[in-house]
């Protein structure tokens, strides 16, 4: 039976619907990351499960028990809010030990568990400090340590790594996942960081306007986004407007601006339909020259900008038809290979292209709302 189950849950704040008829099941020991833009309902989802707010409609179950009217302290969940909620009058170590002591652990055992959590979050050296003496990032780690030490088997984490520097954020994300696996915890982890979610989640849930747009494994979400919103929100993507010019039993020809044609392995659209073509930035190939311009899916253009991104380099190319495309490649392959202003050709393989119905309010309006 799922450890957490929401059935047709709705939550309103006045005239604003934060969660709309949402159903979700999270299994025992599963690590689920919830992704979505600001205002999509991520924090409200956690608060509903924690019991901090009550649903206006629907049912919430924890370990098979209906908990709609159960107070937070009786739900056996640890909620780590984005804004910490630390005890200002208690030392760091006492903040963490509060949970273990509350559930009846001996003082010696409670402080041993607490020190282990402080060591994991690299705060043991500040055990005798008070919260106001810590930086924002340290306070966030303290809140995380307190949640981890609580002993609850369900962890609800609201942007738990958001205030940390990049290196520490990467280090702690893997420690979190390892701790969850070792202690057989069920975790719902809210984050705006797509890379963070991709690297540790068993399953990703994408929220928009209080509704689940797509859920599945990280690879499924990334490689098979159900719509333009998910494709754009999860990973770098290029989009082109066009219409279906021709279709046969194996695929379709999409005509872009100024007569450019792209071959796609999709036969689901009808001839004349207006569509959007998507290709991931790293699934593009830049060529300096070509033997035959008649080759399928070969787009000429000029490099406008080159950006160094550490492990990757991105090339921003203005195509001859006026569209723009970004091509990302590993730095070891791309460093010094091309220059700004150089004429190039971009090859797009049909199997790497996805097409979507054209949005009612236009492509760029659809991208703006994210």
pLDDT (tens digit per residue) in 132-178? 999 988 898 898 899 889 889 999 999 988 878 888 889 889 988 98
**Mean residue pLDDT across the chain:** 93
Closest among 157, 225, 209 to 18, alpha carbons compared: 209
Tell me the mean pLDDT in the region 102-114: 93
The pLDDT tens digits of the residues spanning 203-227 come to: 999 999 999 999 999 999 999 999 9
Output the six-digit token pair for 184.
């057989």
Residues 167 and 175 sit within 8 Å (Cβ to Cβ): no
Q: How far apart are CA 290 and CA 318, in angstroms?
A: 18
Give the pLDDT band of residue 370 (cuts 50, 70, 90).
low
Q: How far apart are CA 81 and CA 159, in angstroms?
A: 8
Which CATH superfamily is 4-228 part of? Answer: P-loop containing nucleotide triphosphate hydrolases (3.40.50.300)
User: With left for phi above 0 and alpha for psi between -120 and 50, is residue 63 left, alpha or beta?
Assistant: left
The pLDDT tens digits of the residues spanning 295-332 come to: 789 999 999 999 999 999 999 999 999 999 999 999 99
pLDDT reading at 1 higher than 60: no
Residues 191 and 159 sit within 8 Å (Cβ to Cβ): yes
Instruction: Output the pLDDT for position 172.
Output: 86
To which residue do tokens 């106001």 refer?
132
Q: Under 8 Å CB-to-CB from 282, ≥6 apart: which residues?
A: 236, 312, 327, 328, 329
Q: Under 8 Å CB-to-CB from 68, ≥6 apart: which residues?
A: 54, 55, 59, 60
Q: How far apart are CA 262 and CA 299, in angstroms?
A: 9
Q: Which runs of consecutive H residues, i.e. helices, occur in the chain?
A: 42-50, 92-102, 107-120, 136-149, 166-182, 194-200, 218-223, 228-233, 331-334, 363-368
Annotated domain spans of the chain: 4-228, 236-368
Residues 213 and 227 sit within 8 Å (Cβ to Cβ): yes
Edge-to-edge order in the sheet of strand 274-280: 261-264, 252-255, 237-247, 274-280, 354-357
Give the Cβ contact number of residue 221 at 10 Å.
Answer: 28
Closest among 6, 55, 64, 59 to 32, alpha carbons compared: 6
Tell me the mean pLDDT in the region 354-360: 96
242 bridge partner residues: 275
pLDDT reading at 199 higher than 90: yes
CATH for 236-368 (2.40.50.100, 3.30.413.10, 3.40.50.720, 3.40.470.10): 2.40.50.100
How many Cα atoms occupy the beta-carbon half-sphere of 183 within 13 Å? 19
Tell me the mean pLDDT in the region 80-87: 86
Element (H, E) at 242: strand 237-247
Residues 19 and 56 sit within 8 Å (Cβ to Cβ): no
For residue 130, the 8-state DSSP code is -
CA 74 to chain centre: 30
pLDDT reading at 293 higher than 70: no
pLDDT reading at 2 higher than 80: no
- Rounded (to 5) percent helix, strand, coil in the chain: 30, 35, 35
344 bridge partner residues: 301
**What are the backbone dihedrals phi and psi of residue 255, each rounded to the nearest 5 degrees, phi first?**
-95, 125
**What are the backbone dihedrals phi and psi of residue 259, each rounded to the nearest 5 degrees, phi first?**
85, 0
User: Which three-class secondary structure state does DSSP give residue 83?
Assistant: coil
Instruction: Output the pLDDT for position 179.
Output: 85
Instruction: Output the pLDDT for position 282.
Output: 96
DSSP β-ladder status, 343-347 and 354-357: unpaired
Output the six-digit token pair for 188.
């719902």
């Amino acid at each position: 039976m799922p450890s957490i189950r929401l059935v047709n849950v709705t939550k309103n704040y006045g005239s604003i619907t934060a969660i709309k008829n949402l159903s979700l099941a999270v299994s025992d020991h599963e690590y689920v990351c919830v992704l979505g833009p600001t205002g999509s309902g991520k924090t409200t989802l956690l608060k509903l499960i924690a019991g901090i707010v009550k649903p206006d409609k629907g049912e919430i179950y924890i370990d098979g028990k209906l908990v709609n009217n159960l107070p937070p302290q009786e739900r056996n969940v640890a909620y780590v809010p984005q804004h910490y909620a630390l005890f200002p009058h208690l030392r760091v170590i006492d903040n963490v030990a509060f949970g273990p002591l509350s559930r009846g652990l001996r003082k010696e055992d409670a402080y041993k568990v607490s020190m282990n959590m402080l060591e994991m979050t690299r705060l043991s050296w500040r055990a005798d400090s008070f919260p106001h003496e810590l930086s924002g990032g340290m306070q966030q780690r303290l809140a995380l340590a307190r949640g981890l030490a609580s002993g609850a088997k369900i962890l609800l984490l609201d942007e738990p790594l958001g205030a940390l520097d990049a290196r520490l954020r990467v280090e702690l994300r893997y420690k979190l996942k390892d701790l969850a696996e070792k202690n057989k915890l069920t975790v719902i982890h809210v984050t705006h960081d797509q890379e963070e979610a991709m690297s540790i989640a068993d399953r990703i849930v994408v929220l928009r306007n209080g509704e689940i747009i797509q859920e599945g494994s990280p690879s499924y979400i990334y490689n098979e986004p159900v719509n333009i919103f998910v494709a754009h929100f999860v990973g770098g993507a290029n989009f082109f407007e066009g219409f279906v010019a021709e279709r046969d039993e194996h695929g379709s020809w999409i005509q872009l601006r100024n007569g450019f044609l792209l071959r796609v392995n999709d036969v689901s659209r009808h001839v004349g339909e207006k569509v959007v073509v998507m290709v991931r930035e790293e699934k593009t190939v830049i060529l300096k020259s070509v033997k035959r311009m008649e080759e399928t899916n070969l787009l000429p253009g000029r490099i406008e900008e080159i950006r160094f991104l550490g492990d990757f380099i991105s090339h921003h190319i203005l195509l001859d038809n006026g569209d723009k495309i970004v091509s990302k490649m590993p730095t070891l392959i791309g460093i010094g290979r091309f220059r700004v202003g150089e004429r190039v050709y971009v090859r797009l393989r049909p199997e790497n292209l996805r097409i979507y119905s054209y949005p009612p309010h236009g492509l760029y309006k659809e991208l703006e709302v994210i």
